């Protein structure tokens, strides 16, 4: 059984739980996906499947990629990703569909996507530096300050936090709870936020380090002294 699926982030909303609590939630259009290639240990050295997201948008492929899809007997897709299989699960065949109903309400998932790029930022925004005084003619407001000693080691040590490009890398959000699954419309509602901007591509997989649901603790009655 495939442990994940490709999706596209729709946006955020609010969901009311059965107890009346309102929580932030993210809507993801997950799938439908088709298995383009099944990889095994004997041929590729590991076990996984290559999925293609069927989004209906036209795509232009080169001869190599066209042959890749022709061998699988599936139409070309613009977006392809690899996902692992569950332990002990039977590998699907090329052409099999993967739908959002592989998930159920209440289970935990990990979401992998690319975060929003912030561009070139200073040390205050990028690393949380406090900065200098804002008044009394300070002239030292958002600068990094000293970056090394003069006599020894007479250089800037590696790893010094400085200004630079911020964001835009791959981000994984762990242990998000599935609120609801709409198999008819291929929609998945998760509790909380996921990486990336609306319309961004994400991978939803079963949580690798799922945490137990917190349970309410009964208050212990204190024994009164006689």
- Predicted confidence (pLDDT) per residue in 13-31, tens digit: 999 988 888 999 999 998 7
- Is the pLDDT at 84 greater than 90, yes or no? no
**Confidence at 193, pLDDT banded by 50, 70, 90:** very high
Residue 210 main-chain phi, psi, to 5 deg = -65, 140
- Full domain range(s) for residue 154: 119-167
Whether 225 is in a domain gets the answer no
Q: Is residue 56 located within the same domain as residue 94?
A: yes
Q: Give the pLDDT of residue 141.
A: 92
- Closest by alpha carbon to 127, among 144, 140, 114, 139? 144
Hey, which of 8-17, 81-90, 203-212 has the most confident mean pLDDT? 8-17
Q: Is residue 7 located within the same domain as residue 88?
A: yes
Q: Is the peptide bond before 153 cis (omega within 30 degrees of 0)?
A: yes
- Is the pLDDT at 222 greater than 70, yes or no? no
Whether 205 is in a domain gets the answer yes
- Is the pLDDT at 1 greater than 90, yes or no? no
Q: Is residue 131 located within the same domain as residue 194?
A: no
Report yes or no: 17 and 41 within 8 Å, Cβ to Cβ: no
Q: Give the pLDDT of residue 122.
A: 95
Question: Per the structure, how many domains does the chain have?
Answer: 2
The residues near 36 (Cβ < 8 Å, ≥ 6 apart) are 50, 51, 52, 68, 69, 72, 74, 77, 80, 94
Whether 226 is in a domain gets the answer no
- Is the pLDDT at 90 greater than 90, yes or no? no
DSSP letter for each residue of 50-62: EEEE---------
The residue among 134, 152, 167 that closes a domain is 167
Q: Give the pLDDT of residue 28.
A: 94
Q: Is residue 188 located within the same domain as residue 153?
A: no
What is the rounded average pLDDT of the residues 65-94? 83
Q: Give the pLDDT of residue 225.
A: 61
Q: Give the pLDDT of residue 149.
A: 86
Q: Is residue 66 located within the same domain as residue 22?
A: yes
Whether 194 is in a domain gets the answer yes
Q: Give the pLDDT of residue 7.
A: 92
Q: Is residue 55 located within the same domain as residue 41?
A: yes
Q: Is residue 17 located within the same domain as residue 56?
A: yes
Q: Give the pLDDT of residue 40.
A: 82
Q: Is residue 29 located within the same domain as residue 87?
A: yes
196 vs 171: CA distance, rounded Å = 8
Q: Can you read off the two tokens belonging to residue 12?
A: 């955020």
For the entire predicted model, the pTM comes to 0.79
Q: Give the pLDDT of residue 202.
A: 93
- Is the pLDDT at 130 greater than 70, yes or no? yes
Q: Give whole-number Cα distances, 137 to 122, 132, 134, 141, in Å.
A: 21, 11, 8, 10
């Amino acid at each position: 059984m495939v442990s994940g699926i490709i999706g596209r982030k729709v946006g955020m909303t609010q969901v009311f739980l059965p107890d009346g609590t309102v929580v932030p939630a993210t809507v993801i259009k997950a799938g439908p996906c088709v298995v383009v290639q099944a990889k095994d240990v004997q041929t590729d050295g590991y076990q996984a499947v290559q999925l293609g997201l069927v989004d209906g948008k036209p795509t232009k492929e080169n001869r190599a990629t066209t042959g890749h899809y022709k061998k699988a007997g599936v139409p070309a897709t613009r977006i392809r990703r690899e996902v692992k299989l569950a332990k002990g699960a039977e590998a699907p065949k090329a052409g099999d569909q993967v739908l959002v109903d592989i998930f159920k309400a209440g289970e935990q998932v990990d979401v992998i996507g690319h975060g929003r790029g912030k561009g070139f930022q200073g040390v205050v925004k990028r690393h949380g530096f406090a900065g200098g005084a804002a008044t009394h003619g300070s002239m030292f407001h958002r600068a990094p300050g000293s970056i090394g000693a003069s006599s020894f080691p007479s250089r800037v040590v590696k790893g010094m936090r400085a200004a630079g490009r911020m964001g835009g890398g791959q981000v994984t959000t762990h242990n998000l709870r599935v609120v609801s699954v709409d198999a008819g419309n291929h929609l998945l509602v998760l509790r909380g936020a996921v990486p990336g901007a609306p319309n961004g591509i994400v991978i939803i997989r079963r949580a690798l380090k799922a945490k137990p649901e917190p349970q309410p603790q009964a208050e212990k009655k204190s024994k009164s002294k006689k």
